[in-house]
Chains A and B, each alone.
Chain A
Amino acid sequence: MTVDDAEEASPYQGEAMPVAAVSKNAFPGSAARARPRRIIAVGGGKGGIGKSLLSANLGVALAREGARVLLVDGDLGGANLHTCLGMPPPSVTLSDFVQRRVATLEEAQVSSGVENLRVIAGAQDVLDAANMRYPQKQKLIRSLLATDVDYLVLDLGAGTSFNTLDFFLVADIGVLVLLPEPTSVENAYRFVKAAFFRRLLNVGMEMGVADLVEDALSTRDGNSLTPFTFISRVKRQNPEAGAAMERELTTFRVQLVVNQVRTGADAHVAQAVASAWKKFFGLEMEPIGSIPYDDDAWRAVRKRRPLLLESPDSPAARSITEVARRLLTLPGPPSAGP
């Protein structure tokens, strides 16, 4: 059993507080500090749905728009972002920073070969970063938040481990990737719900109802709760806490990208998910793109070249560029200037 698994079993084990709570409040004057203008996290709950492919190519697209971009492989234990970029196995990785073999995140960065785009490769050794302990995670997140670039793109791993959820929650822009298939939709929902409940844990602790959130996270009954049903339950017991959680729900926003779209019906999946999850669960999803299934994308991966460089005119590459442009127009965090 890894530390991560232990964390899953009990929200508190090994952690006094979810990282999101600390990090969001850690830099009250953050507008004045060096920090990324935007942190974009790319998650999706399921493996093999194109998170790394999207992250790598978003990085390329944003860099080509003139932004200074740092791509970070946050897939702790299954890192392969460097492969999507056609880079050789990196000499220095995220785990060198986590294990203090290098002192700063700067030293863990390598060039991607694309102008304006630097990369922090993921841990090659499964045991290191995947089992990152709480203080290490704190330090990593603080360092990421203090990186002086225009865009920090975090490629997240599969699953709903606390490390992954916390990286998703510190981002200014959370991008959820899903495929138009039941398994992917299921995992995506689990992922978003877990992230939201993780965020509620902060409110729960502030309002003295952490136990309610914990129950929802750890019991079978809690498993079937939607954000709506959970919050109405809290409201009955503690109207004030319920209202605070309701505010969290209205500000919790996830950008949705549907990948490997094959049919006309698939193209509407993003809209349908956004509509249904809002009406049934209260989750605000913003569809920002559908990426067609494209043999060029597959060939680019086989060639270990970023799609945007290998086949820039392919339908998938064009869609990813559009997603990048959408991301460029999204409003940033309230604390940071434009």
Chain B
Amino acid sequence: MKPYQSLNYFELLEVPHTATTEEILDAHRRQQEMYAPDSVALYVLEDTTQVEELRKLLTEAMEFLSDADLRAEYHQQLGLPPPGARPEAPVQPPASRAEALPPPRPAPPPPAPVQVEEAPKAGRESSIPGDEGVSAPAVRVRESRISRVEFSPDAEFNGELLRRIRESRGVSLQAMVDRTRISTRHLESIEADRYKLLPASVYLRGMLMSVARELGLDPARVARSYMDLAARASGPSSP
């Protein structure tokens, strides 16, 4: 008997230890859809913050298990054969021990490409129409290799990059629509850099910040970067 808080990453994603990275990304996508906020299956939950918490754990699980180095380390912690090893005698995680101990959650990973880390989710409701009330939090840069999509600290966030980051997190377009309440059409236009089809900049900015928040990126930076690109593309008046 294990509540979600004490499940290991494999159990959270409901995949076997032998799952390939592809299967892990798939499982994460499926789980994100299952635990979308409007899922009818969650109707009986009294505490909806638990769903939010579970969704974060699922993403964390996907991020660790889809990174080769982190996954190898995690297998070691669980006493599993290394990932990719042909399982001659599949090793089950010792159930009783797993129950007694909290699930092994890896320590903060070793340094790797610099990535802009997530900003607080405050002001989510107010973020869509003119977001001036949402003060951009200071950019917190943390050493991490959570994302498989690498980009430099001064990367320009165009639609292509946003899409790749979204996909690397196993978030489907539909899941993004559900979570940000931005229409599929707008999200597609953002990701395809179809600037002409995008809404007025005051709305666009709010949308970009929502998307960034969902991806754990710095909302202000993403919005600024994207809108600079959009402005440059639509007129010669570059900054």
- Chain A interfacial positions (CB closer than 8 Å to B): 180-182, 185-186, 189, 224, 228, 231, 246, 249-250, 268-269, 271-273, 275-277, 279-280, 282
Indicate if the CB atoms of B3 and A185 lie closer than 8 Å: no
Residue contact A186 to B1, C-beta cutoff 8 Å: no
* Pairs across A and B, CB under 8 Å, 11 listed: A181-B40, A182-B40, A185-B41, A185-B44, A231-B1, A250-B1, A271-B34, A272-B40, A275-B41, A276-B34, A279-B4
Residue in contact with B35 in the complex, picked from A180, A182, A228, A276, CB distance below 8 Å: A276
Check A246 against B34 for contact (C-beta < 8 Å).
no
**Is the beta-carbon distance between B3 and A186 smaller than 8 angstroms?**
no
* B interface with A by C-beta (< 8 Å): 1-4, 7, 12, 14, 30-31, 33-35, 39-46, 50, 54
Q: Taking CB as reference atom, which chain B residue is nearest A182? A: B43
- Please, how many angstroms separate the alpha-carbon atoms of A251 and B169 in the complex? 35
Residues on B with beta carbons closer than 8 Å to the beta carbon of A276: 34-35, 39, 41-42, 45
Selected contact of A185 from candidates B4, B35, B43, CB within 8 Å: B43
A residues in contact with B31, CB < 8 Å: 275
Interface pair A273/B1, CB less than 8 Å apart? no
Whether A272 lies near B43 (C-beta < 8 A) is no
Smallest CB–CB gap between B7 and chain A, Å?
Answer: 7
Is the Cβ of B3 less than 8 Å from the Cβ of A228? yes
A186 touches B34 (CB 8 A): no
| CB proximity of A107 to chain B, nearest CB, Å | 43
Q: Which residue of A lies closest to B31 (CB)?
A: A275
Q: Which residues of the other chain, B, contact A269 by a CB distance below 8 angstroms? A: 40-41
Residue from B7, B39, B40, B46 whose CB has the most chain A CB atoms within 10 Å: B40
Q: Which 10 A-B pairs have the closest CB atoms?
A: A272-B41, A279-B4, A272-B34, A189-B44, A273-B41, A182-B43, A276-B41, A246-B1, A185-B43, A228-B3
CA distance A277 to B40 in the complex (A): 12
Residues of B within 8 A of A181 (CB): 40
Q: Is the CB of B3 within 8 A of A249?
A: no
Judged by DSSP, the binding face of A is: helix
Instruction: Report whether B3 and A279 are in contact in the complex, using a CB–CB cutoff of 8 Å.
Output: yes
Query: For the complex, what is the distance from the CA of A174 to the CA of B4, rounded to whole Å?
Result: 25
A280 engages B45 (CB within 8 Å): yes
Residues of A within 8 Å of B34, CB to CB, are: 268, 271-272, 275-276
A2: min CB distance to chain B, Å: 27
B86 to chain A, nearest CB (A): 29
Known contacts A228-B1, A268-B33; A279 and B54 CB within 8 A of each other: yes
Residue of A224, A231, A273, A277 with highest tally of chain B CB at under 10 A? A273
- How many angstroms between the C-alpha atoms of A282 and B50 in the bound complex? 14
Docked Cα-Cα span, A280 to B4, in Å, equals: 6
> Quick check: A275 and B14 within 8 Å, CB to CB?
yes
Question: Separation in Å of the A19 CB from the closest CB of chain B?
Answer: 25
The residues of B that contact A231 with a CB separation of less than 8 Å are 1
A185 to B2, CA, bound (A): 22
Indicate if the CB atoms of B1 and A224 lie closer than 8 Å: no
Bound: A230/B42 CA distance, A:
19
Query: Measured between alpha carbons, how far is A224 from B46 in the docked complex, in Å?
Result: 8
Other-chain contact of A180, B1, B40, B44 (Cβ < 8 Å): B40
Given pairs A246-B1, A282-B1, 8 additional interface contacts (CB within 8 A): A182-B43, A186-B43, A268-B34, A272-B34, A276-B35, A277-B41, A279-B7, A280-B45
User: Taking A279-B54, A280-B50 as contacts, is the C-beta distance between A185 and B40 under 8 angstroms?
Assistant: yes
Question: How far, in angstroms, from A180 to B38 measured CA to CA in the complex?
Answer: 12
A258 to chain B, nearest CB (A): 10
Q: How many angstroms from the CA of A279 to the CA of B5 in the assembled complex?
A: 8
What distance in Å separates the Cβ of B13 from its nearest Cβ neighbour in chain A?
10
- CB <8 Å contact, A186 and B46: no
Given A249-B1, A276-B34, A282-B3, A186–B44 Cβ distance below 8 Å? yes
Q: Find chain A residues with CB under 8 A from B41 CB.
A: 185, 269, 272-273, 275-277
Which residues of chain A come closer than 8 Å to B14, judged between CB atoms? 275
Residue of B nearest to A184 (CB): B40
Set B3, B12, B39: member contacting A280, Cβ < 8 A:
B3
